[in-house]
Each structure stands twice: as C-alpha cells, then as structure tokens.
Chains A and B, each alone.
Chain A
Amino acid sequence: MSYWPLAGIAIVVLGFALRLNPLLVVVSAALATGVLAGLDLVAVIEALGKASNDNRYISVTWIILPVIGLLERYGLQQRARAVIEGMRGATMGKLLVAYLAFRQIASALGMKDIGGHPQAVRPLVAPMAEAAAVKTHGDLSEDARDEVKAMAAATDNIGLFFGEDIFFAIASILLIQGVFEAAGYPLTPLELSVWAIPTAICAFAIHAWRVLAFDRRLGRAQR
C-alpha cells in the first residue's frame, strides 16, 4: 500500500504551523491527497466540487446573522453586559461559577457571541473577579492577580467550548454530520448534539470545583 495520500495530512499540519490562510491550506491538502492517490487533477477538482456541494448545509447556519445583528443594533451586547454585571457582590469563586453557567447556557441556546475575551472578559469578568478576590482575601500579589485574570479567561473558553455543541445548528456539529454522512453513516444534528450534554455536565462540575478550590487556596496563601 502507498503511504503517499498521507502527505495531505502533513500539508495541513505544516500549513497551519506556518500560519498560511487555513482555507488555502485545506483545499491544497485536498488537491494533493487526490493527486497522490492517483487521480488526475480534473477528477480531483470534480471530487472537491462535489464534496463541497454536498456539504453546503454546514454554511446554512449563517442565515441567523441578520437576526443577531439586528438585536445587537438594539443593544443585545449591552443587555448581556448588564446581566453579567448583576453577578457582582459575590466572592470570586461564586462569580466565576455563575459566569461559567451563564456562558454554557447561552452558548447551548445558540448565543455564543454573548461573552468572549474582548467583549466580556477584559472589560467585565476579569476586573470583577479581581475586585471580588481582593475584597475577600485582602491585597493580592501581582502573580496572584494574574492568576485570577487568567482563570477568568479560562472560564470563558471552557463555558463556550462545552456549551456550544449542545446547540445543533453550529458548524462543529454539522461538520461531524458531513464527515459521517460522506462515510455512509447518516445522522441528524440533534442525535449528535444531545451527546454533548454529558461532557458539558462534567466540564461544569470539574471547572466549578477548581474555581472554588482556587478561591480557597488564595485565602490560605494570604493568611
């Protein structure tokens, strides 16, 4: 058996490492893989065209953008900020657990752009977490402050990653569906997205426990 078709994988890894345009990398990898597997170039372009055409439904999800954009025009992001600010007053641990839950639930309902590092973490979540930590534990060292802010950013990522796949009309779920359908295993988006729930629960339990343990550790270090 020839190992040449694997060069496509090497192209993907190398192209991403060199920070080339990912779209360019992916399509080059597809063309190279087909040619190295012994197809002629026209046949490979045909295969790519057919595969892309069969997977158009993955990009259908963007039709939601006019709705989200319209709501943003009327202050959706500002309203989300008000909800996050309403979590004020608690300890750092409780604040981040509440934000984790908010981020997971909003993402699971398809609102994954509520939150995020530039929009929410830098202006709101990180300063609020830092202020809450100082309030409970007294003045903190520079390193401890950095740890609190980093934990706020980590909480945003974890809430997004392990919430968004519960929403069925999201690229990752439809990508799974596309790959499996091409391989002869037709699935529905809901069949896939319900299987994101057990991991979402584990993620919440593990990260919430860690955030609260971190808060307690900060308290001990200050004493």
Chain B
Amino acid sequence: MITYEWLYILAGSAFAVWAALSLKDGRWGNAAFWALLSASFLLGSHLSDLANGVLVLAMVAIAGLGGLKRSDPPTTSLEERQAHAGQLGNRLFIPALVVPLTAVAGTLLYNYTPLGETGLFEARRETLILFGIGVLAALVGAMAWLRPPLLAPAQEGRRLIDSIGWAAILPQMLAALGAVFASAGVGDIIGGVARGVIPEGSIFLTVVVFALGMAGFTMIMGNAFAAFPVMAAAIGIPLLIQQYGGTPAVIGAVGMLAGFCGTLLTPMAANFNIVPAALLELKDQNGVIRQQVGTAVPLLLCNIAIIYVGAFWLWS
C-alpha cells in the first residue's frame, strides 16, 4: 500500500538534493536549513517527538537569524527563453496541467470504480499521493521532451525554493501552532467568551462572528493562514461544528476564503496591497486597497451566506 511515508521520502530526497547543491554553491545557511528539513522528512517518523521538536527549533533559528538567502543557479537567458517560448508555444502548459489532471482524474477513478477495492493507496490520502505521481510523470515527460541537462530540474527547483525561503514551512508551522492551541485549550477559552456574547442558539450570528473574525484577524495579522488556526480553535470547531453540527469541509474552506477577503482590505498584507502600489507608482499608497473594498465587502457577505447555507442547510 502506498502511504504518505512514500511522499515524505520523495520530498525529503528533493530537499536533500537542494541542500547538497546549496553546499556546493557555498550557501551554508541554505544548505543547513534544507538538510534539517530533509532530515525531518526522511527520519521524522522514526525520531522521538523531542528530536523532531529540536529539528524545528534549529530550522527556526536559522531562518530567524537571516541565514536563508536567494540563490542564482545557472539557467537560460531571457533571449533563450523568449526563443523557446515562441518555438514551443502553448504546449509548454501541458506538463503543468498533467499534475492536477492526474490527481483529480485519479482520485475520481479510485473512488468511483472497483479500483478503490485494491487498497493501493492509504485511505483518504489518495489525492496527495496521486499529486506526487503526477509530478513524477510530468517531470519524466518534460525531461524526455525538452532534453535539458540532467541537473536542470534540481537547479531550477532550487532557484524557486530559495526564492520562497523560510516561508516554505510557514503553513506547516501554523498548522502545528493550531494543534498546540487545541491542546492548550485556547479554543475552549475563546469559545466560552464567544458563547457569552452571541445569543444562545443563534447559528446565523455565530457564522457571522466566525467570518468577520477571520476577516478581522487577517486584517490585523496581514495573513489569513495565521488567523485560521486561531478562529478554527475559537469558534469554527467548538461552536459551529461541535455544538451546532455544521459540515466541517464548508466551515474550513469558506472560513479561509472569508479571511482572504480581509487580506484585500489591509495594508498589513504588503506584498499584495502596498508593493504593487509602489511598483505602479501610484500617488496613493492605499490605492489598490481602495479598488478592492467594493469587491471584498460583498464577497464577505457571500461567504457568510455560503457557510450558513452550505454547512447547515444542505446535507444536515
């Protein structure tokens, strides 16, 4: 049976290759960071919780001290890319499309045909495993088609992962923060406070508070990912799911999107709102946000309606 462990070995190997290439490039901070992440992927299931915790702290220390830098591995020039693009045309999109196609078509086939009875994949893990298979298929296909130097995908991947840097493990760490919040009882505390404020039994007002809380916390932090573990522990899980029996998938997915409406409204999300204003040389630093208000606010109301109808009326 193919399990997540296979994916961890695949990803761990990719991080190990990036660590080795960084080392060869003399980028010690990057090499150490990707090597630790690789160790976490390859060995994590066999290490003690404490050892895994120490791995995390070491990675955070490297990132916090600014040890991760962008890199510039050898690649093609702008002129070469222009020429290739003209010659290859829209076929260039095909390998990128192979990945989602493999995952979605594979998941549907696996779940709605007798294929599922083979037990080939770990239960509920098939989509991400098929994503990994799709990546391998796309990579092999693209290599055979384009015939680049053997190390090209590893070097191009390193260029991209180094431009992402420490942010690559931020979502994973935010999910871990959510788990720590849950075990420390943060949800119970805020849920208790919220129950005192929201009229007893009003599902609709609880949905409104959840969605506004996601948007509001996102505006304060500039990041819906950071707001999500907090609001899920506070209202989403204890009240909407446990007390009122809402559908978890709707509350999670649309709750996050309510947070994205907050991202459109805050100067704290500098990358999306302030940087483009500077790039476009706008006189008003908040010019982009001003154009987004008229979409974000009605869309937040739509999200409230979608959560209320989707989580409590359909399939309940």
Contact = CB atoms under 8 A, between A and B. Distances in A.
B85 A5 contact: no
Interface in B54-100: 54-57, 59-60, 63-64, 66, 75-76, 80-86, 88-90, 92-93, 95-97, 99-100
Contacts of A42: 50
A131 interface: no
A55 B63 contact: no
B298 A206 contact: yes
Contact of B52 (A39, A50, A158, A193): A50
Interface in A162-201: 162, 165, 167-169, 171-180, 182-183, 185-193, 195-196, 198-199
Contacts of B29: none
A217 B59 CA distance: 52
A26 B263 CA distance: 19
Interface of B: 4, 7-8, 10-11, 14, 37, 40-41, 44-45, 47-57, 59-60, 63-64, 66, 75-76, 80-86, 88-90, 92-93, 95-97, 99-100, 103-104, 107, 124, 126-128, 131-132, 135, 138-139, 142-143, 146, 148, 152-161, 164, 166-190, 192, 220-226, 228-230, 232-233, 237, 241, 248-250, 252-257, 260, 263-264, 268, 272-273, 275-277, 279-280, 282-284, 287-288, 290-292, 294-295, 298-299, 302-303, 306, 310
30 contacts: A5-B185, A6-B186, A8-B181, A24-B64, A33-B177, A37-B184, A53-B40, A55-B172, A56-B41, A60-B131, A63-B11, A64-B99, A67-B153, A69-B160, A71-B95, A73-B76, A75-B84, A75-B85, A76-B96, A78-B82, A110-B100, A150-B280, A165-B257, A168-B131, A172-B225, A173-B253, A179-B178, A190-B127, A195-B306, A196-B254
